[in-house]
Amino acid sequence: MLGKLVRHPVLVNLMMVGIVAFGIIYYRANIKEQMPEVRINAAWVATYYPGTSAADMEELITRKIEEAVKTLEGVDHYTSTTTEGRSFVWVEFRQDIASMTKAVLDLQNAVNRVNDLPEDAKKPVVSQAKVRMPAIIVALKGGKQPERVTREVGRKLKQKLTDLRDVGDVWSTGIRDRQVEVELDPARLEAHSVTVAHVARALRTRLRDVPGGTITFGRSELALRVKAEMRTLDDIRRLVVLPSPSGKHVRISDVARVKLAFGETLQIGQIDGQRGVILTVMKEYGGDILRLSREVHALLDTFRKQLPAGMSIRTMGDGARVVKSGLETLYSNGAIGMALVLICLWVFMGGRNALMASLGLPVALLGATIVMYLLGVTVSLPALFSLILCVGIVVDDAIVIIENIYRHLELGATPLRAAIDGTREVMWPVVSSVLTTCAAFLPLLLMTGIMGKFFSIIPKVVVAALLVSLLEALLILPSHMADFGRVARGRHQSADTRLVRFASRVLGLYRHVLERVVRWPILVSASAVLLCVLMVGLAFATKEVVLLADEDIQVFDVRVKMPRGSSLEETMGVLQTMQQRLIAALPAKEREGIVAQAGWTRTRVFPERGKHLGMVTIFLVRTAQRERRGKQILEHARRAVAGIPGPLSVELAAVVFSPPKGMPIAVRISGDKYPTLKRLADRVKAEMRKVSGIVSIQDDFDLGKRELRLHVDMQRAAMHGLSHADIGQFVRAAYGGLPVTKFRHGDEELDVLVRYDPAVRRDPARLRSIQIGTRAGGRVALGDVTRVEGGRSLAAIRHRNSKRSVKVAADVAGDLTSSEANRRIKARIAALARANPEVTFELGGEWEKTAESLNSLVRAAILAVALMFTILAAQFRSVSQVFVVLLAVPLSLIGVVTGFFVSGEPVGMVALVGVVGLAGIAVNDATVMLDFINKRRRAGMPRDQAVVEGCVLRVRPVLLTSITTVAGLFPLAMGWGGTAESLKPMALAIVWGLSFCTVLTLLVVPCMYITLTRLGAALFPARLRHALINQHDEQEESDERADQDRT
């Protein structure tokens, strides 16, 4: 087949053009984003029961839902948060479940089987969890316009943004919903013998269309509908509440005031100190952030022309800017790396051969983009990094084949014959090398957790590129070499031929060194092993593993938690103070904008809402436009906002686009009694404060605001025909407000809310005297059937696996790493755990995810080594030679450890993933060398001579394959084209590891080969030696005599 393809180049060239053309098409069609969106194996169950305390919600709903979750298979763990009127259960499934869709369906069925929930509670809602990232912030400044105008403009802008195809949702701050308020006067209600229930029923029945069934005649049907006639507020005012035979009907206007008003202020937004509307645009899962950004800016350009005088719009935190910056960084690093690869090829192989080898680059990389598109892998930073990693690797097989073809040309073969014979001679070593590299990367697909899904992109892209490059090297390259391969001869030799001569002198130097090194094989081998053990031991003793190095911070929050019961104005007052301090502390040239939002705050998964919550978000200019790194600015901001009175906690956190890691420090305390949990949480916080570098210490023990508790006297209530539910519904309607129906006003559908007049609602002293209507038509004071007392209760009750829990979380600052901080905390809470056996202490957050990812990576590494061992054993048919080849893996670790000590970079999961991939790359050099040593041995050459000749013959492709791989990643490791912080550790690991591995492989592998053959001759009989070492008896006897003579 190879001969036919070489002789028919048209088919080969069409194949190459097709791969390139379709690669470009699919690359342009693919989604561009900074980090790939990762679906999490989780679902949630939300149940609402308005007016019910958190403690009652826990018993009536949450525990029953949790019992249903317990029965499911595949659940890893579950947590719950119960607040007033709301139960929220979060269920995380194991990563190895076959179908997340089926898991969510099973959860839905389990919840549906819970049949003893309160009748008036809303039906539980079950949904798969999705994590949406903010794409862009649109800030609308109202200027001097009244709130009514600002709100209307903001509402229209929000609707237009929501209609864009890549938008998943738009969160708004500063837009209050309008509603129709029916404010009841208790005195007028009593005078007309009207109750709250009368008013609610009248509104509910008269403001809503009523279906009337159908009329069937012949083959046709007509639907009947009784239309509501309420079109204006005056229509509502004239609505009859109690009819009278005399015609003196009691109307809404007789007992209440009806008005169109803004709803309760739940959130306030400020942009650079001015009040306005803040719209956070969330990207839809699978949406293209670059396209979304273009559409948003195009929409805003049109919308600005319609703005009322004095209003303005600006954007901040444009995620497309971050994506473009990251992609440009990798593009520039890739271009520099590709240029270095071509220079290296030219130096060692000449211009013509370098061009032939470089043709495989676009074919392999664009072929990989086709596979990416088909597998649903988007163009993101990890995907582009994988392509850059391939820049140096995919030419390895081409280099080996071209170098061997070139050697045949130098021996006088015709280009056609040299292309066929040269390719066939090294075909199986090349295939083996590619397969071992694939074997190193493929097990990364089996990593579990969020990080496993994140890292799964790398093996998909790398393996795709390697297989396409192998196809190109075996089928396309020989045809091109047959057409264009030449050896420069005569006096008119080109400059590249002189460079090849320079390379030949390098080979001569290597021969000279190798001939002396192989005289002391045992000493060299033992020294290499000892050095490897020492370096790895030093790394374990001094280096710490972090989960994921962050990119430079572009956006960060100052998240504030005030005491429960704080008003929005109080929360915003604290945020304004922070805003002023931050504006004064941070130079204007470093920040793009500052936004303050009271009423909600960002969390790791879902936003948390409440009047006592707020945050100030700082948007920084691009990294290249400022002198300080984002982490330095964040620490400066931390000092600036320290000491502000009022908040219970202040947390500074970067808004990142990488996989969620959790807090650097998180201690979960689980048990049955909240007082015990709170006491132990305080002890843990005290221990944390003793560790320098631990900051932003807080717990999630949430004591509610002050409250008035109404205890129903059931005996007295029964005397008046009232139940506990009747009294609860009355109090909720009178004070909280009862939404009874919807009312169409213009293009909006507004809630109609019935409640008492504000003068009554705001006076606690009048609570006992409020009259409640009985079923018999009479009236009784609320104080006659209830007992009122003050107090406080828990605002939120949290469970983990059905047990009550409190979490203490903290951040780290300065030089303290999360690993070191967790080790210190673990030692300090050990005594607490022993003294309180009824309570469970767990370390969570980043520590938990790091441990999970490390265990998963270790399993992947073991499988990678097993696969490589199998492939190499099939090629060499010798166990001992497989060990010689695999020796390159520990040799590469010497370089990895040295590199991280020199650079000062932390050893993260990305770096360790790079080490696993490095194992597959490192063995390629030894594979090619050992294959040629074996061929010389089979030709009858003495062992030591075969080792020297085989190594010297292969040193050029060995150097070239390693140098091109290092050159391709060197710019990224050094940050020449810009720094990609999260991926730099992997580049460093491969560059340093492969550099050391190449030099040591050229010297240590030959010595180890000789050492193992000597040990085999001394320890095993000839037949067993043949099985282990695969040597001919005549060669063994000759080698033994040579060893004895040397001794």
User: Is the distance from CB of 843 to CB of 666 less than 8 angstroms?
Assistant: yes
Is the pLDDT score of 549 beyond 70? no
For the stretch 509-524, pLDDT in tens is 888 888 888 888 888 8
CA dist 21 and 950 (Å) reads 41
Q: CA–CA separation, 454 vs 458, rounded Å?
A: 8
The predicted structure's pLDDT at residue 1032: 42
Q: Is the backbone of residue 660 left (phi > 0), alpha (psi -120 to 50) or beta?
A: beta
**Confidence at residue 108, expressed as pLDDT on a 0 to 100 scale:** 94
What backbone phi and psi angles, to 5 degrees, belong to 174? 100, 0
Least confidently predicted of 348-357, 458-467, 917-926, 927-936: 348-357
Q: Distances from the Cα of 893 to the Cαs of 198, 385, 1002, in angstroms?
A: 81, 21, 16
Sign of the Cα torsion 791, 796, 801, 807 reads negative
Q: How would you write 650-702 as a 3-class SS string?
A: EEEEECCCCCCCCCCEEEEEEECCHHHHHHHHHHHHHHHHCCCCEEEEEECCE
Q: How far is CA 497 from the centre of its chain?
A: 50
Query: Chain centroid to CA 517: how far?
Result: 49
Average pLDDT over residues 413-421: 83
**The pLDDT value given to residue 1000:** 84
Give 385-424 as a DSSP string: HHHHHHHHHTTHHHHHHHHHHHHHHHTT--HHHHHHHHHH
Residue 616's pLDDT is 92
Tell which residue, 236, 319, 249, 237, has the closest CA to residue 284: 319
Write out the two tokens for 947. Answer: 């080792």
Average of per-residue pLDDT across 140-166:
86
- The two counts, helices (H) then strands (E), for the chain are 38, 33
Report H helices in 543-611.
568-585
Give yes or no for residue 568 having a pLDDT over 50: yes
Q: Give me the helices (H) in 456-606, please.
A: 457-471, 477-484, 495-517, 521-542, 568-585
Average pLDDT of the residues in 699-717: 82
Q: What confidence score (pLDDT) does residue 485 get?
A: 63
Query: In 732-798, which ranges are continuous DSSP H helix?
Result: 758-761, 782-785
Residue-level pLDDT at 410:
74
Give the separation between CA 617 and CA 19, rounded to whole angstroms: 46
Residue range 1-26, pLDDT digits in tens:
667 777 777 888 888 899 999 999 99
Confidence of residue 661 (pLDDT cuts 50, 70, 90): low
Q: Is the dihedral of CA 200, 206, 211, 216 positive or negative?
A: positive
CA separation for the pair 23, 15 (Å, rounded)? 12
pLDDT at 981: 66
Res. 1025: pLDDT tops 60: no
CB atoms within 10 A of CB 214: 10
Residue type for position 796: A
Say if CB 292 and CB 136 are below 8 A apart: yes
The better pLDDT of the pair 777, 254 is held by 254
Q: What per-residue string of b and e applies to 807-844 under the rule 16 or more CB within 10 Å gives b?
A: bbbbbbbeebbbbebbebbeebbeebeeebeebebebb
Phi, psi of 432 (to 5 degrees): -60, -40
Among 407, 385, 450, 541, smallest CA distance to 985 is for: 385
- Short-list 978, 1027, 238, 142, CA closest to 622: 978
Strands 649-654 and 591-601: unpaired
- The pLDDT of 213-218, averaged and rounded, is 76
Q: What string of DSSP letters covers 37-87? A: ----SEEEEEEE-TT--HHHHIIIIIHHHHHHHHT-SSEEEEEEEEETTEE
Q: Is the pLDDT of residue 1016 over 60?
A: yes
Query: Do the beta carbons of residue 135 and residue 31 sit within 8 Å?
Result: no
pLDDT at 506 over 80: no
Tokens standing for residue 839:
């309570």
What's the pLDDT at 1018?
A: 62
- The conformation of residue 541, written as its DSSP 8-state character, comes to H
What string of H, E and C letters represents the secondary structure of 246-306?
Answer: CCCCEEHHHHEEEEEEECCCCCEEEECCEEEEEEEEEECCCCCHHHHHHHHHHHHHHHHCC
Average pLDDT over residues 425-440: 84
Percentage of the residues of the chain whose pLDDT score is greater than 90: 12
What is the structure's pLDDT at 334?
Answer: 67
Answer whether residue 1044 shows pLDDT above 50. Answer: no
Q: What is the pLDDT of residue 825?
A: 87
Q: How confident is the model at residue 208 (pLDDT cuts 50, 70, 90)?
A: low
- How many CB atoms neighbour CB 683 within 10 A? 18
Q: Which residues contact 53 (CB under 8 A, 6 or more apart)?
A: 84, 793
CB of 892 within 8 A of CB of 994? yes
**More reliable by pLDDT, 322 or 785:** 785
pLDDT at 61: 93
Evaluate whether 798 touches 806 at the Cβ level (below 8 Å). yes
Q: What is the pLDDT of residue 951?
A: 84
What are 41's two structure tokens? 């194996």
Confidence label for 1043 from pLDDT (cuts 50, 70 and 90): very low
Mean of the per-residue pLDDT values of the chain: 81
pLDDT at 1034 over 50: no
Residue 1024 confidence (pLDDT) above 70: no
- Burial zone of 994 (CB within 10 Å; 0-12 exposed, 13-18 middle, 19+ buried): buried
Of the two residues 218 and 260, the one the predictor is more confident about is 260
What is the pLDDT at residue 204? 82
Of 756, 1034, 1012, 998, which Cα lies nearest the Cα of 894? 998
User: Would you tell me the crossing angle of helices 289-304 and 147-162 to the nearest 10 degrees?
Assistant: 140
Q: What is the pLDDT of residues 377-393, one digit of tens each?
A: 888 878 887 887 787 77
- pLDDT class of 113 with cuts at 50, 70, 90: very high
Per-residue pLDDT tens digits for 807-863: 998 888 777 777 788 888 888 888 888 888 889 998 877 767 777 777 888 888 888
The residue among 806, 769, 777, 849 whose CA lies nearest residue 671 is 806
The owner of tokens 């090849």 is 500
Nearest to 461 by CA among 856, 23, 993: 23
Domains of the chain and CATH, by start:
2-30+323-483+502-540+851-1046 (1.20.1640.10), 42-128 (3.30.70.1430), 134-177+265-316 (3.30.70.1320), 179-216+225-262+707-791 (3.30.2090.10), 554-655 (3.30.70.1430)
Whole-number pLDDT of residue 45: 94
Q: Check whether 62 has a pLDDT greater than 90.
A: yes
Specify the residue for token string 């492939």.
871
- Predicted local distance difference test score (pLDDT) of residue 876: 79
Side chain identity, residue 173: T
Residue 963 contacts residue 880 (beta carbons within 8 Å): no
Q: Comparing 498 with 304, which gets the higher pLDDT?
A: 304
Residues 6+ apart with CB under 8 A from 134: 280, 281, 282, 283, 317, 319, 655
Q: Give the max Cα distance, the chain.
A: 134
pLDDT at 1021: 56
First-to-last alpha carbon distance for the chain, in angstroms, is 51
Confidence of residue 46 (pLDDT cuts 50, 70, 90): very high
Exposure b/e, 308-341, CB count within 10 A at least 16 = b: eeebebebbbbbbbbbbbbbebbeebbebbbebb
Look up tokens 């790194």; give the residue.
Answer: 629
Taking phi over 0 as left and psi of -120 to 50 as alpha, with beta for the rest, 744 belongs to: beta
Q: How confident is the model at residue 349 (pLDDT cuts 50, 70, 90)?
A: low
